[in-house]
């Protein structure tokens, strides 16, 4: 029996509604949390700039470390279906300090991403209705973004079932429209109705060789890793999922596979239609790279139908806001349940069976950070903060891979399936992400990286590494102030001990 198996023998109840959703709903939550429409439109152009025609190869290869970590999530969830995920698993297998930092980084990554997506949602809401001038400003997009965050917070507060139903609609819209765009683009390419510069897909696109060297390929790979991030939301709602030891892990793996298919289709279609030129519809056009599908989509679908792609991106951003609040509130719920955060974060709404304080805090903090950063920096720090998330993703996803291999280390000696799925596959994902973390940090150190810099150091580096360092400082301060809650030096408590912690 592993460290986690032993600790999870009598899982602690937190008040969440058991078996509230099934495998399909869990998978949809994992898919929606990645914001596929927004992620691909904001990333694809920069991947093409880095590697040219080999963008499909990069998208394909980026899938493997993500899928490897998803396997690690599935194995750890099977042993301990706890909504704290990285926090709980790392704390039990390695130690409370490691778990606390993992929980902090996962929480801050989600909040930073949501603070950025709130601006995207606010802007695209006005673009949908043709108010391009308003969408380009900051005042009304901030108001709209804050309002959307508050609405999504309220829906998350009302319970996971209503949240899951909304995700069926939002993800259904964006997936349908992305497939429609791709099919129409490929049909026009093969029927001769695509503009000059279009290309016919070729097998060489799927080869990583000839992509411009190792540095160019690594840059593209790091960008592509970002678009797969978010599927772990399916595991964070494990305590509310039917067959909670197996379905959440299955949902995580299914999410990555569906994302692979969707991203490959869109990448090939957009590249075939627009080409990889640096002007016009070319995907390597730096002027249109931040929103490449909106630019190409206007030619593919026409002015009126292009509104559908705007709707897809809007649905994507709103869906990611909701599926960001939902799992993050459960991470802080778990941290509070086990004493690593103040007990108030573990309060539950009895009617809706949701973490009341955690949900409202995460939603309110997201709205506050979004509004303040927009006002202070006019979006420059926000842009750098979203770039810094790559470091945070690599950090806590990598931690899960290492935690899985360490937790099941005794079973690995038996070889066979256990060695593969509990050891080698998660460890492979962790090693790739560690490399991505180090390589990203080196590039982000440069003052020219991103939109801001501080005393000759890139603002993206300061925000990313600063978030991790700040977490360590907060952890130490909390340990000094409330040592009885931090549980330093011993395993996380189980149900009989939780009541005593709550009384203290």
* Unique residue bearing structure tokens 């996971």: 160
Query: How do the residues of the chain divide into helix, strand and coil, expressed in percent and rounded to 5?
Result: 75, 0, 20
Residue 259: what pLDDT? Answer: 95
Lookup result for tokens 């974060």 = 345
- pLDDT attached to residue 213: 67
CA–CA gap between residue 240 and residue 228 (Å, rounded): 23
Q: Which two tokens stand for residue 65?
A: 């470390």
What is the rounded distance in angstroms from the CA atom of residue 2 to the CA atom of residue 11?
15
Identify the CA nearest to 126 among candidates 115, 116, 139, 113. Answer: 139
Q: What is d(CA 122, CA 127) in angstroms, rounded to the nearest whole number? A: 9
Q: What is the pLDDT of residue 382?
A: 72
Residue 13 has, within 13 A of its CA and on its CB side, a CA count of 6
Tell me, what's the pLDDT at 493? 58
What sign does the CA torsion over 167, 168, 173, 176 have?
A: positive
pLDDT given for residue 327 in this prediction: 93
pLDDT of residue 340: 87
Three-state SS at 458: strand
Contact 396, 86 (CB under 8 A): yes
Burial class (CB in 10 A: 0-12, 13-18, 19+), 22: middle
Q: Cα–Cα–Cα angle for 237, 120, 140, nearest 5°?
A: 120
Give Cα 175 distance to the centre of its chain. Answer: 17
Distance CA 181, CA 297 (A): 7
Angstrom distance (rounded) from CA 188 to CA 183: 9
Coil, helix or strand at residue 496: helix
Task: Measure the CA–CA gap between 478 and 415, rounded to whole angstroms.
Answer: 42
Residues of 188-215 as b/e, b for ≥16 C-beta within 10 angstroms? bbeeeebeeebbebeeebbeeeebeeee
pLDDT of residue 484: 63
State the helix-helix crossing angle for 139-158 and 160-190, rounded to 10 degrees: 130
- What structural domains and CATH numbers belong to the chain? 19-377 (1.20.1740.10)
Residue-level pLDDT at 495 = 43
Any residues with CB less than 8 A from the CB of 121 and at least 6 apart, and which?
A: 144, 145, 148, 314, 317, 318, 321
Rg (CA), the chain: 22
In the DSSP assignment, the letter for residue 420 is I
CB 390 within 8 A of CB 436: yes
| Predicted local distance difference test score (pLDDT) of residue 503 | 42
- The tokens describing 55, both together, are 């963008």
**How many beta carbons lie within 10 A of that of residue 406, not counting itself?**
18
Q: In this predicted model, what pLDDT tens digit does every residue of 450-474 receive, in sequence order?
A: 788 888 898 889 999 999 999 999 9
Tokens of 101: 């930092």
pLDDT, residue 377, reads 64
* Tokens, residue 230: 């978010």
* Nearest-5° Cα angle at 432, 431 to 433: 90
For residue 349, what is the enclosing H or E element? strand 348-349
Residue pair 247/30 in contact by the 8 Å Cβ criterion: no
What is the rounded distance in angstroms from the CA atom of residue 232 to the CA atom of residue 256? 10
CA 209, 211, 212, 215 torsion-angle sign: negative
**Dihedral sign computed on CA atoms, order 104, 497, 352, 230:** positive
Determine the pLDDT at residue 10: 41
Q: Note the pTM of the prediction, 2 decimals.
A: 0.90
Q: Which residues of the chain have pLDDT under 50?
A: 1, 5-11, 488-490, 495-504
């Amino acid at each position: 029996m592993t460290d986690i198996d032993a600790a999870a023998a009598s899982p602690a109840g937190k008040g969440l509604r058991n078996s509230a959703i099934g495998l399909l709903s869990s998978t949809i939550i994992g898919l929606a949390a990645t914001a596929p429409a927004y992620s691909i439109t904001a990333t694809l152009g920069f991947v093409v700039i880095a590697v040219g025609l080999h963008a499909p190869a990069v998208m394909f290869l980026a899938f493997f470390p993500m899928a490897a970590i998803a396997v690690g999530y599935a194995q750890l969830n099977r042993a301990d279906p706890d909504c704290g995920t990285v926090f709980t698993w790392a704390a039990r297998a390695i130690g409370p300090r490691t778990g606390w930092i993992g929980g902090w980084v996962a929480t801050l990554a989600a909040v930073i991403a949501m603070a950025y997506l709130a601006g995207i949602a606010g802007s695209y809401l006005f673009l949908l209705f043709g108010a391009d001038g308003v969408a380009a400003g900051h005042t009304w997009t901030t108001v709209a973004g804050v309002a959307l965050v508050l609405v999504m917070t309220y829906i998350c507060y009302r319970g996971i079932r209503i949240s899951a139903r909304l995700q069926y609609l939002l993800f259904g819209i964006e997936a349908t429209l992305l497939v429609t765009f791709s099919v129409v683009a490929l049909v026009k390419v093969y029927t001769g109705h695509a503009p000059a510069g279009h290309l016919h897909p070729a097998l060489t696109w799927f080869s990583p060789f000839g992509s411009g060297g190792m540095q160019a390929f690594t840059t593209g790979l790091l960008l592509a890793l970002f678009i797969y991030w978010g599927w772990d939301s399916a595991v964070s709602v494990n305590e509310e999922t039917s067959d909670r030891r197996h379905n959440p892990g299955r949902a995580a793996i299914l999410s990555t596979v569906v994302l692979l298919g969707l991203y490959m289709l869109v990448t090939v279609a957009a590249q075939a239609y627009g080409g990889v030129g640096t002007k016009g519809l070319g995907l390597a056009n730096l002027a249109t790279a931040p929103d490449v599908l909106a630019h190409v989509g206007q030619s593919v679908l026409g002015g009126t139908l292009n509104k559908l792609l705007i709707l897809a991106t809007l649905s994507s951003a709103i869906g990611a806001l909701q599926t960001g609040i939902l799992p993050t509130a459960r991470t802080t719920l778990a941290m509070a349940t086990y004493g690593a955060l103040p007990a108030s974060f573990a309060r539950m709404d009895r009617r809706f069976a949701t973490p009341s304080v955690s949900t409202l805090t995460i939603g309110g903090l997201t709205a506050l950070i979004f509004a303040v950063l927009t006002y202070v920096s006019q979006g420059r720090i926000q842009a750098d903060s979203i770039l810094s998330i790559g470091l945070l993703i690599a950090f806590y996803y990598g931690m899960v891979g290492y935690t899985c291999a360490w937790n099941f280390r005794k079973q690995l000696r038996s070889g066979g399936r256990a060695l593969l799925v509990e050891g080698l596959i998660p460890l492979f994902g962790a090693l790739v992400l560690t490399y991505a973390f180090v390589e990203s940090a080196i590039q982000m150190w440069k003052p020219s990286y991103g939109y801001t810099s501080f005393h000759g150091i890139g603002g993206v580096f300061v925000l990313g590494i600063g978030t991790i360092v700040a977490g360590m400082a907060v952890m130490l301060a909390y340990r000094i102030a409330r040592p009885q809650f931090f549980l330093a030096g011993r395993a996380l408590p189980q149900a009989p001990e939780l009541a005593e912690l709550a009384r203290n």
